Amino acid sequence: MKRPHIKVTTESARFLMSAYRPNGADAQDPVFKKALEQIGSDPGLAKWFNDQREFDEIVLERLNSVQPPPELKSAILTGVRTTMIHRERFQYRWLALAAILLISCFILGKFNFPHAANQFDAFQSDMLALFHPLPVLDLSTDSFEQTQQFLKANAAPTAPNVPEELRRMQTAGCKSLRWRGHMVSVTCFELPNGDFLHLFVVNKGTFADSPIPHGFLKNGDWHILFSESDGMVLMWMSRAPMNELRMLV
Amino acid sequence: MFRDINFEDIVSEHYASLYRFALSLSRNEVDAADLTQQTFFIFAQHSRQIRDASKVKCWLFTTLRREFLRGVRSQNNHPHVEFKPEIHDSPAISPDALRSLDGKAVMDAMTKVDTTYRVALELFYLSELSYKEIAQVLEIPVGTVMSRLSRGKEQLKATLSESVFERERKIIPLPRDEKASH
């Protein structure tokens, strides 16, 4: 009963040690550790192992005596240097192209697509242009409530949290329009002094993450104020004196 | 040339063993040189993808083998594989007899080993890769590598014994009188 067990262990050791490199690089590999211990206690296995190592060493030595053609190394290095030069040139070309694209995008963005920070400027400029000459309103009514119902029915943004004083104020009417793909609504209030106050409402997402300008802005004889409420950006625009507007909004 | 890898050092260190491996696969000196060059060419193109310098050797041998197989497939020229009966007890071959053979004879003997075992054997001797690295190059389990090495060595011993026998048979001993006259 013992012999078959010993024989299997020896066979296993021989099987494992066939993968043991003759230069001893695998000496620390735990896979070979037990097999090496077995070799130490089995003279027959030890002889086989010594013969095996000698065989491996001679084969290795003989195979290593086969030398590559003398010009091969220089041919490889020359070929590789050429490849590297091409690769670097190729990379530089890509870098140059990327730089050109970047500059082009910047220039195009500068002239055609206002930077996020300038989007409010563009918005107010475009809306001001709408009032030269005066726009044709979609709905003419003196009721603020009616303007909001009309805008809502036309899927245009309505004004949230409008001060009560303005709600009670008479309106000229309202209009909806598209600006760069976004719906914009405008409600026109008639101020007691005869001036108009125009309220533009647009979704805040229209301006991405750009910060809303603070305080009153002046554009020609127009006074402009931006505010934010319930995810909407409100732009108030009037020729009325600034302090009067301040009291209203 | 490279930030982390000195290409010239890598070529100097590995080109000879790669050439021998290529020679054993292609059995043709011109093809072996081409394969070696092609391997370094690919390495030059992809060297930046290899972050661990210790993996370079394994990468080179894997690439060379893949390139060889790609070439074989494209030529539809699969090497003929002759399966031999398994040899469990290898014939004894004395170290002196083995030493009497030159590198070419050993290389020729290697080519007669079954392809299945031969590639693992070539990687073991020619690249001195560990059994784990061979498993990686051949994409097979480590147990299979050990099995192929074990059987491959038995076949190599048998083939080398035949080579020694054939060589000795060709040497016709001179008659004693003629020997004396020299």
Range of the domain at B35: 7-75
- Structure confidence at residue B19 as a pLDDT band (50, 70, 90): very high
Q: From B16, B43, B75, give the residue that closes a domain.
A: B75
d(CA A38, CA A4): 15
Q: Which residues in chain A have Cβ-Cβ distances shorter than 8 Å to B107? A: 63, 66
In a shared domain, residues B108 and B51:
no
Residue B30 included in any domain: yes
- Global ipTM: 0.73
- Structure confidence at residue B61 as a pLDDT band (50, 70, 90): very high
- Total domains, chain B: 2
Residue B176 included in any domain: no
Residue B82 included in any domain: no
Q: Residue B38 maps to which CATH number?
A: 1.10.1740
For residue B46, give both structure tokens: 């992809």
Residue B34 included in any domain: yes
Mean pLDDT (10-residue bins), chain A, 249 residues: 47 87 85 85 90 91 88 84 64 67 65 60 83 76 91 89 87 88 90 86 86 82 87 89 78
Q: Which residues contact B137 (CB under 8 A, 6 or more apart)?
A: B58, B61, B62, B65, B123, B129
In a shared domain, residues B49 and B116:
no
In a shared domain, residues B70 and B99:
no
pLDDT digits (tens, 9 = 90+) for B73-88: 766 544 444 434 444 4
In a shared domain, residues B68 and B104:
no
Q: From B43, B75, B107, give the residue that closes a domain.
A: B75
Cβ of B37 within 8 Å of Cβ of A83? The answer is: no
Residue B141 included in any domain: yes
**Is A27 in a helix, a strand, or coil?**
coil
Q: Annotate A43-54 with DSSP letters as a single string.
A: HHHHHHHHHHHH
Q: Which residues in chain A have Cβ-Cβ distances shorter than 8 Å to B94? A: none
Q: Residue B142 maps to which CATH number?
A: 1.10.10.10
In a shared domain, residues B133 and B162:
yes
In a shared domain, residues B111 and B148:
yes
For residue B17, the model assigns a pLDDT of 92
pLDDT digits (tens, 9 = 90+) for B95-105: 888 888 888 88
Residue B18 DSSP label = H
In a shared domain, residues B103 and B161:
yes
Calculate how close chain A gets to B136, using CA atoms only, in Å.
Answer: 14
In a mutational test of the B interface, the residue from A60, A63, A65, A77 whose CB has the highest number of chain B CBs within 10 Å is A63
Buried-state track A168-185, b at ≥16 Cβ within 10 A, e below 16: ebebbbbbbbeeeeebbb
B64 interface with A at CB cutoff 8 Å: no
Q: Which residues in chain B have Cβ-Cβ distances shorter than 8 Å to A76? A: 11, 15, 36-37, 40
Residue B177 included in any domain: no
For residue A87, the model assigns a pLDDT of 61
β-bridge mates for residue A173, sequence order = A188
